[in-house]
Amino acid sequence: MAEFVPVDPFDLLIFGGTGDLARRKLLPALFHRDRDEQFSADSRIVAISRGDMDDAAYAEWVHDALAAQLTPKELEPAVWARFSARLCHYSLDMQDDSGWTGLGDRLDDTHCRNRVFYLATAPSLFGTIAAQIAQAGLADARSRIVLEKPVGHDFDSAREINDAVGAVFSESQIYRIDHYLGKETVQNVLALRFGNSLFEPLWARGAVDHVQITVAENLGVGQRFDFYNRTGALRDMVQNHMLQLLCMIAMEPPASMDHDDIRNEKIKVLRALKPITADVVDRVTVRGRYTAGIVAGEPVPGYREEGDSPDIKTTEQDTETFVSIKAEIDNWRWNGTPFYLRTGKRMARKLSEIVFQFKPVPHSIFGDQPLTPNRLVLSLQPEEGVQLTLMTKEPGPGGFRMRSLPLNLNFPDAFSVTYPDAYERLLMEVLRGNPALFMRRDEIESAWRWIDRIIDSWHTRGVRTHEYMAGSWGPTDSFVLLDRDDRRWAQPE
């Protein structure tokens, strides 16, 4: 039976503590964990921003943020009283030397706590903040630092950030976060593969025809246009979320659940990814950008229209909001088995899933009865679960009729205790000092090497974006990508 285990006393310093990530994800996640009594009485949450507010004003800001996302029942007065007592705010220009001494004075006390620095800021500030932390004497052997994605925008910038942060903190103290690794279904890949004798013999090229990974969002870029216009779907989603999912499902069995054993196997997958070069890039990748359309029954603007907002000052580029890729892993387990990756904005609906399409039976004894190959679907959102489709006989008289039916494991139905958000799990793992669910430096840099090769190949061949209507499943060329191999994208339920 699941239980919530308290963590040791801590100081959690959130740089960017009044930003969007803190408001939407970090503070609600911390409130949920406090509600389940995982924090000691003397643990503190210190928000750091340039905002001019005292502790009381910040607590009021947090209450408003939580009230906008939680039900009145969730926002229990007794829990809020306990949680708000932990909240502090410190005004600081993170690039100015003058305020850091005062931060040290604010934190100084006689209690022995773990100290976590959560950098919910622009990646360009990561190195600066780490250096200031060191200069102020705030880092010690018990300190940990959390880096939000993206770590850089290419291999060179990622290495520069890693060097700067690594000059202050050891690799074991650095937690590069990807919230997809905190999702229950992603964690369950390990249990499914290595806790059951049924699947592991089939988890290879001999039985698997191909694998599909889809991460679709029905929202547009909105107010993130400036950031997104400089980034694009390949950097924003594939470099981190999708490659991490790929590593989890394709890696070899680790020796143990030790964090380095798991990450050692993941890095082998990244290094085995076949480079996508200029001579093949237009056949194995598709770039897309959404136009106006209908999502959930409502008209929505296209990417260009969102960029026409008077608040947007950035010049529009040929930025992709959709990308699909045929990836191949050159190793013994997966050689010849394609992995199709697909992600996009303004898709038909929000969906994240991994589909294992198994090969058909070698010979049918059922005459002209159509047989659908088995399929294993790992659903990450909107609901987490596992589905396996099997062929079975329809009951009743009238002949031998075959039908494909699913076996379902729906996590919310099967388990009474769940983590509502991946950030809750990941924050607890940081506070416990367990880096297994976080990315190591060599993972980040290997992923960027593969992504940089694709971007360079796009530029060399002049690969442009293809338009797709908002509310669809992407441009026509994405379907052609699979059609060339006589395959189809799995149709979401």
Query: Which phi and psi angles does 332 have, rounded to 5°?
Result: -65, -35
Type of residue numbered 30: L
Q: Which residues pair with 48 in a beta bridge?
A: 15, 90
Q: How is the beta sheet containing 174-176 ordered, strand by strand?
A: 87-91, 44-49, 10-15, 114-119, 143-147, 174-176
- Give the torsion through C-alpha atoms of 71, 76, 79, 85, to 10 deg: 80
DSSP string, 220-265: --GGGHHHHHHHHHIIIIIIIIIHHHHHHHHSPPPSSS-HHHHHHH
Is 466 catalytic? The answer is no
For the chain, the first-to-last Cα distance in angstroms comes to 31
Give the C-alpha separation, 341 to 272, whole Å: 16
Sequence-distant (≥ 6) Cβ neighbours of residue 385 within 8 angstroms: 185, 379, 408, 409, 410, 411
Q: Which residues pair with 117 in a beta bridge?
A: 13, 145
SS3 content of the chain, % helix, strand, coil (to 5): 40, 20, 40
The upper half-sphere exposure of residue 239, i.e. CA atoms within 13 Å in the direction of its Cβ, equals 27
| Residue recorded with tokens 């925008």 | 153
- For residue 477, give both structure tokens: 């060329």
Q: Which residues pair with 13 in a beta bridge?
A: 46, 117
- Classify each residue of 112-149 as buried b or exposed e, where b means 16 or more C-beta atoms within 10 Å of its C-beta: ebbbbbbbbbebebbbebbebbeebebbeeebbbbbbb
111, 241, 259, 363: the active-site residue: 241
- Give the torsion through C-alpha atoms of 148, 154, 157, 162, to 10 deg: 50
Give the C-alpha separation, 16 to 24, whole Å: 12
Cis peptide before 382 (omega within 30 of 0): yes
Task: Cite the active site residues.
Answer: 241
